[in-house]
Amino acid sequence: MKLNWVGYSYLALFGCFILAILKIVPLATGGIVIIFALIFDRESFNIDWFLLATFLAFFGFTDNLEKIIHISINNPLEAFLYPALGSQIMSNVPGALFFADFTSNWKALLWGVSVGGFGSLVGSLASLISYRLYRAKTENQNRYLVKFHIYNYVLFAIGVATYILCFAR
């Protein structure tokens, strides 16, 4: 695999993002990527802006909720169930960030948001992406949605049952 200078630049900028997420460098460091793309790679702006806005709305929603709600989740079953159920309305990745501030039980939290990725279309941002791709290629979205939700809620129920039977004490 051969990378050109743009590829190496994005790799370095990805490292900047990781450092910003870990709060080693200021979060505004992410602006460097936008400036780089504006100058050197305008094609990277050919993205699904509605989908990006959806992602930002999910993260903004959970960030605002975090500032309003102050709870502590100590019970392992609750530390699993709240993220699993919460992911159904706020998606599992924002749900993980949201519930992480309320519990120190990482095992239950990660099980909860992983299982929470099943269920509703909103349960996982990846499901939203797959639906948008499907919708762009076909007329019959209702059939897809019915099958999607049946399969996903069955998997959600299996995930909840597995956690309760194997890990809840």
Q: What does 32-89 look like in DSSP terms, one character per residue?
A: HHHHHHHHH-GGGG-S-HHHHHHHHHHHHHHHHHHHH------SHHHHHHHHHHHHHH
**Maximum separation of any 2 CA atoms in the chain, in Å:** 55
Please state, in angstroms and rounded to a whole number, the distance separating the CA atoms of residues 117 and 28: 30
Q: Note the pLDDT of residue 3.
A: 63
Q: What is the mean pLDDT of each run of 10 residues along the chain (169 residues)?
A: 74 85 83 77 78 82 83 94 96 92 95 98 92 89 94 98 91
Q: Note the pLDDT of residue 2.
A: 66
Q: Note the pLDDT of residue 1.
A: 60
10 burial level (CB within 10 Å; 0-12, 13-18, 19+): middle
